[in-house]
Amino acid sequence: MKLKLRLEKNDCDDIGFAKACLVAGVLEFAEFKEWIYYVVGHQDQVPAYFWDILDIENKFDFKPLSVMGFNPSWKHTESESDALDGIGYRRWNDFVSDAVPRDLALQALERNPHIEQRFREMFPFISW
């Protein structure tokens, strides 16, 4: 199955979602890079910046603006952002969010099941 992801500067919601997962700590950098490989194997064309990301060794060296030429964004509400943290709380017992406490994040995830669905669709190789 071929993917049709939004990965370009003017249409970046999917790479923006992946970056939001990484920044929130819901996705580890190794998983982010695994997603890059997954996309390369399942999408007809990938942006040249994908290869630059694969050369990066750790999360703190990933500077989207300098690597990609833009800072990808994901259009979302505050409740959806809290739901994303809910995924982190579900995945790891030691997950910590500066934005929202565990109980509120999990409530937000219950109200926004499409966030978990999107996470599972974007990162099908992750089981939890």
pLDDT at residue number 1:
59
Q: Is residue 47 part of a domain?
A: yes
pLDDT digits (tens, 9 = 90+) for 62-112: 999 999 999 999 999 999 999 999 999 999 999 999 889 999 999 999 999
CA dihedral 80, 69, 38, 98 (to 10 degrees): -30
Euclidean distance between CA atoms 44 and 84, whole angstroms: 28
> Which residue segment(s) compose the domain that 37 sits in?
13-122
Contact 84, 20 (CB under 8 A): yes
Judge whether 63 lies within some domain.
Answer: yes
- 8 within domain boundaries: no
Task: Give me the percent of the chain exceeding a pLDDT of 90.
Answer: 94
30 occurs within a structural domain = yes
Q: Chain-centre distance of CA 89, in angstroms?
A: 15
Number of domains in the chain: 1
Q: Which tokens go with 16?
A: 């923006």
Task: Tell me 3's DSSP state.
Answer: B
